[in-house]
Structure 1
Amino acid sequence: MSDKQLLRGTMILTASIIISKALGLIYIFPFKAIVGLEGLALYQYGYGPYTLILSLATLGIPLAVSKFVSKYNALGDYRTGQRLFKSGIIVMSITGVIAFIILFLLAEPIANHVLDPGELQGNTIQDGVFTIRMVSVALLIVPIMALIRGYFQGFGSMGPTAISQVIEQIIRIIFILLLTYIILEVWQGTIGTAVGFATFGAFVGALGGLLVLLIYWWKRKGYINKQIETSTMDHQIPLSKMYKELLTYALPISFVGLAIPLYQNVDILFFNSAMRAIGYVQTEVDMYFGAFAQAAHKLILIPVSVATAMSLTILPTVTKSFINKEHATLQKQITQTYQIILFLSIPASVGLVLLSDSAYATLFGLEDMEIGAYMLKYYAPVAILFSIFAVTSSLLQGINRQRYAVIALLAGLIFKLTFTYLMIVWLGPAGAILATGVGYVIAIGVNVWAIGKFAQYDYQFLAKRLLLIVMFASLMALVVFLVRNLIGAILPLETWINGATILFTSIVAGLLTYGYLSVRSGLAGQILGHRFKFLSKKRRVARSSD
């Protein structure tokens, strides 16, 4: 496959990921309007354990299989990849069945732990069991789908993965929104029934994605078989050695990817019981948890996704520089990666803190704005930590020190497990957020130390650059604060249109302030000029006029 075709495939896959993530964010707004915060909480009670068990069942399989197959295909050995694929279908089928049985059987214990059997209002244990068991069915086919996607990618064919991901997400969202609306508004059903069927959308969407992959397989089977027949060699690797190699690729990927699901499941484990211990009833608990784990979480992932996407593209060059022992180039690349993540995530998080009420009101409604804005205000700064942890973990993979990323994750998770309950008891709902934040700070501390030691990275310049970013973000915050309060005095946050006006006006003011300061100072050009040439030009103009 030519470089042009490979680049095209990579762009298609990247676009599909962006589209899928955008759809996954957008649907939450109408879904929340239909089922409310209690419904969002119930959805997370089911989807949280499902995501964790799915991650364990697949263990980074798509990327690992892709790397394995492409490696042996490049050596002219297409048969080894085929053997992995055939045996992998069996293994993933068995893994999926085991994962399904585990989650299905754990549904009742999880629901009994999370929900209060004595409460007559709010989500019930029966609702929890039904929701978890409905979503568990998806585990029967998603691991198989992951393997097929990885195999296609190993041939440099990104289209099947891209199209199947988008179709899967579209079908899932249509199923969720349509069925929940019909159950609640037409059939006058309960929220428990509606959300249970909503989580079943994971299975329905997966069926659509799998069908797309099978169509591609039917069309490409002849070409793949022809490639296999023209193999110039056959390594005849034993299956045990084959899977050992596969796991060396998969484990580092899967552990880092497990960070957010693990932290969210710790919250599922402790949040409700701690909240009930300090006097909250189940309905209130559900509302706070729904705002925390679904509504606010979705919003803070916006800056995380943008920042990490822009920074992670530089990581393949980090690996190359490290292998070639190009120390000076490596230092520049690490600095550039850090700068991008801080330049984008810090002002975005500051903005979400200051505009938490108008942002929540505009996107999720005024009905439970007080609870939602409260959780978003405290959760927004954690977006910076999510971004830094993802990037530093990837940097450690780039310099072949990924085990320290795993150590970092475990260190932070131990803190989260130990202190979440206590912090909620001491501080209320925000205690869960603080436990997450401190856990990530510990993990980032380990990652930053490891990068400094093994990449011999000097943080002095980055500290100066961070000070400048914080200074500009602070000035931006002052402007946003003044604009938000000025508009709010004229248009009280009592209607959706007022909230949207406050939000839009404040965002524009913040963007103009931060943008002007960073472009005028040359900071934007130094950090993003290699991506956006006009920033470099503006930087030169600014310097020449000084």
Structure 2
Amino acid sequence: MSSNLVKGTAILTVGLFLSKALGLLYLIPLYAIVGEENIPLYQYAYVPYNIALAIAISGAPLAISKYVSKYNELGDYATGRKLLKSGMLVMAITGLVSFFTLYLLAEPIAKLVHSSDDQTFSVDDIAGVIRWVSYALLAVPLMSIVRGFLQGYQKFEPTSVSQLVEQIVRIIVVLVGAFIVVNVLDGSPKTAVNFAVFAAFIGALAGLVVLFKYWKSYKPELDHLLANSPPASDVSFKEMYTEVFAYILPFVLVGVINPLYQFVDMITFNQAMSSIGFAEVTETYLGMLNLLTHKFVMIPVMVATGFSMALIPVITSYYVKKDPIGITRSLDQTFQIMLYLTVPMVIGIIILSDELYQTLYSKSTVGSEILASYAPVAILFGLYTVTAAILQGIDRHKWIIFTSLLGLFFKLVLNIPLIKMFETNGAILATSIGYTIAVGINLAIITKVLHYRSQMVFRRLILIGILNAIMFLVVTFTLKGLTAISPVDGKMQSILYIFICATVGAAIYGYLSLKTGLAQKLFGERLTRFTKKLGF
């Protein structure tokens, strides 16, 4: 794997991890401020917002990075700059259209969600919170094109830092605003939730400021490359955007597919649960599924997301140069490291689901059961993200569209009958089936097109599975021993047990990885030199 891919992955993954971690942790005080009964209103805003956001911008950074990387590899820096200048106007218009669309569709979406008068929230409540979050769409798209342009130059730090700053500012505004509304102004929790979702707009403005500062620092270097570049290729704006939009559609689907699965839950879950007699609790359970536990599940996925964002320009570069060895080496390393890091996190969430849910929210048998059932789906989320990124890098965009829509179709068809059979677990099962179909076909296409065969990767994945099985047994018995001595009673004890079990799990997994030489093989010479000093 190239050093650029390792460095880019590390930067993006660290930034994404911190962003996802903050996105999870801020729910603790927000949950305390507005209460469990009002938290579902928050997710009603963010599911349609994430869909609109993905349509507006998710394809742009990766598609633009792919386009810019392609022409940079040919020594043509002028064409990428030409795209940047015109793209700022295009993304501004896209953001404006997305804002008006979501704002005007707020009430129809709310009517889809509201299936029973026994539900906690009215149509007006749901429509109002969707309208408040829609303002963020005015600012966010402008960030996407700058991030994509810089990623095309293998500069990943601006994306990572701007995402982190955007998240920090948003969280501060969410918590301070919600606290003032409820505790100072004696406003209702519903009003606090409206203010909390509007904070996405303020966070986006902060992210724009960060990107502007990075642009100023990189501009001399980029101008030097531009000055020594031949004139821009004879590519018309029509040809340029035809190519870019051909990239964007599959990228949009990759970005929007997870929110679309959540949207299917949002418009079908209440109806299905009400039909089997759970109308009074359906919104609470939906909030647990689509917001409270979903935040946990997406933390392991950030490893795959970091890889996919760094992988696409690298794979594109190898593909343009017709370097199959470089592609194979990158794929080998990507699959191994992603699963090496993702699987133990998923196992940890499953084992510690009771303690994690109680620590962040409150003691809830239903909530912790949903978390434990949902956690393994993170592996499918990660594999989908990475395999789609590979198909994007080798210009197999039509297959991404086909597999994404096919998986979503199965989710839509199976969701209501499975929910009626298995309640909340039915929605999780329908999601698992949809993603399994998409990932399976993606892997088949990658294997066929790239003639990708790797016995070494297969053997390494078996070893990773064995190490995780050992870790699972050790951590499970550690937790059972702790609860046998003293059952969990309160958040502080939950935190202590999480810390002890996580430390034991990390120590066992790390020791076995070093002892077998797996970690050294995955992470390269620097780790090997360090571990030799430790006697491994």
CA contact under 8 A between 1:264 and 1:293: conserved in structure 2?
yes
Aligned residue among 504, 510, 527 for 1:532: 527
The structural deviation recorded for 1:378 is 0.2
Aligned residues of 1:164 and 1:210 also touching (Cα < 8 A):
yes
Query: Which of the numbers 444, 464, 471 marks the counterpart of 1:469?
Result: 464
For the aligned residue pairs, the C-alpha RMSD in angstroms reads: 3.6
What letter is aligned with 1:273? Q
Distance 2:445 2:100 in 1: 39
Please say if residues 519 and 535 of structure 1, whose CA atoms lie closer than 8 Å, have aligned partners that are also in contact. no
- The DSSP-based 3-state class of the residue aligned with 1:135 is helix
Matches within 5 A, 1:387-426: 387-426=382-421
Contact 1:59/1:251 (CA < 8 Å) preserved in 2? no
Counterparts of 1:108-119 in structure 2, within 5 Å, are 108-116=107-115, 118-119=117-118
Identical positions, percent: 42
> Partner of 2:248 in structure 1?
250
Q: Give 1:358 shift.
A: 0.9
Change (3 A) 1:300 1:223: closer
Change (3 A) 1:387 1:157: closer
Separation in 1, partners of 2:50, 2:384: 20
Does the C-alpha gap of structure 1 residues 487 and 78 become closer, same or farther in structure 2, counting only changes over 3 Å? closer
Given that 1:92 and 1:143 are in contact with CA atoms closer than 8 Å, whether structure 2 keeps it comes out as yes
Could you tell me which residue of structure 1 aligns to residue 344 of structure 2?
347
CA contact (8 A) 2:13 2:305 kept: no
Aligned to 2:134: 136
| 1:197 equivalent in structure 2 | 195
Q: How does 1:133-532 map to 2 (within 5 A)?
A: 133-151=131-149, 161=159, 164-213=162-211, 233-235=231-233, 237-282=235-280, 284-306=281-303, 309=306, 330-366=327-363, 369-458=364-453, 462-529=457-524, 532=527
1:137–1:203 CA contact under 8 A, matched in 2: yes
Amino acid at match of 2:346: S
Separation (CA, whole Å) in 2 of partners of 1:335 and 1:79? 34
| Conserved 8 A contact 1:408-1:443 | yes
CA distance 1:170–1:505, change in 2 (3 Å): closer
C-alpha displacement of 1:395: 2.6
Cα distance between partner residues in 1 of 2:223 and 2:318: 38
Q: What do residues 137-174 of structure 1 show as CA deviations (whole Å, max 9, x unaligned)? A: 22222223323444566677767655543432222111
1:58 corresponds in structure 2 to: 57
- Tell me which amino acid in the other structure corresponds to 1:300: V
C-alpha separation between the residues in 1 aligned to 2:313 and 2:449? 17
2:103 corresponding residue in structure 1: 104
Contact 1:65–1:246 (CA under 8 A) maintained in structure 2: yes
Aligned-pair CA distance for 1:96:
2.0
- Where does 1:40-55 land on structure 2 (aligned, <5 Å)? 40-55=39-54
Deviation readout 1:83-107 (Å, 9 max, x if unpaired):
5445433332332222122211211
Q: Distance in 2 between matches of 1:396 and 1:6?
A: 17
Could you tell me which runs of 5 or more consecutive residues in structure 2 were left unpaired when the two chains were aligned.
none
Query: Is contact 2:305-2:386 (8 Å) kept?
Result: yes
Seen in structure 2, the aligned counterparts of structure 1 residues 512 and 142 have a Cα distance that, compared at 3 Å, is: closer
Distance of 1:431 and 1:158 partners within structure 2 = 39
Identify which range, 87-96 or 153-162, moves more after superposition.
153-162
Q: What CA distance in whole angstroms lies between the structure 1 residues aligned with 2:313 and 2:231?
A: 29
- The change in CA–CA distance for 1:53 and 1:532 in structure 2 (over 3 A counts) is same
Change (3 A) 1:278 1:535: farther
- 1-structure distance, mates of 2:7, 2:457: 34
Measure how far apart 1:53 and its partner are: 1.2
Q: Is contact 1:311–1:341 with CA below 8 Å preserved after alignment?
A: no
Amino acid in structure 1 at the alignment position of 2:92: S
Kindly state the Cα deviation for residue 129 of structure 1 after the two structures are TM-superposed: 0.9
Instruction: Return the index of the structure with the highest Cα Rg.
Output: 1
Q: Which amino acid aligns with 1:133?
A: R
Q: 1:362, 1:496 within 8 Å by CA — same for their partners in 2?
A: yes
Q: 8 Å contact 2:65–2:148 — kept in the other structure?
A: yes
Q: In 2 relative to 1, CA 232–132 (structure 1 residues): closer, same or farther, beyond 3 Å? A: same
Quote the Cα distance in structure 1 between the aligned partners of 2:459 and 2:72: 47
Structure 1 unmatched runs, 5+: none
The answer to which of 95-104 and 414-423 deviates more is 95-104
Which range moved further: 220-229 or 474-483?
A: 220-229
Q: Distance in 1 between matches of 2:162 and 2:321?
A: 38
Could you tell me how far apart the structure 2 residues matched to 1:425 and 1:335 are?
A: 41
Alignment-derived partner of residue 92 in structure 2? 93
* C-alpha contact 1:301 1:383 (8 A) present in aligned 2: yes
Q: Which residue of 2 aligns with 1:38?
A: 37
CA contact (8 A) 1:116 1:125 kept: no
Shift of 1:373: 0.3
SS at match of 1:60: helix
Matched to 1:206, the amino acid is A
**What letter corresponds to residue 362 of structure 1 in structure 2?**
T
Report the AA paired with residue 42 of structure 2: Y
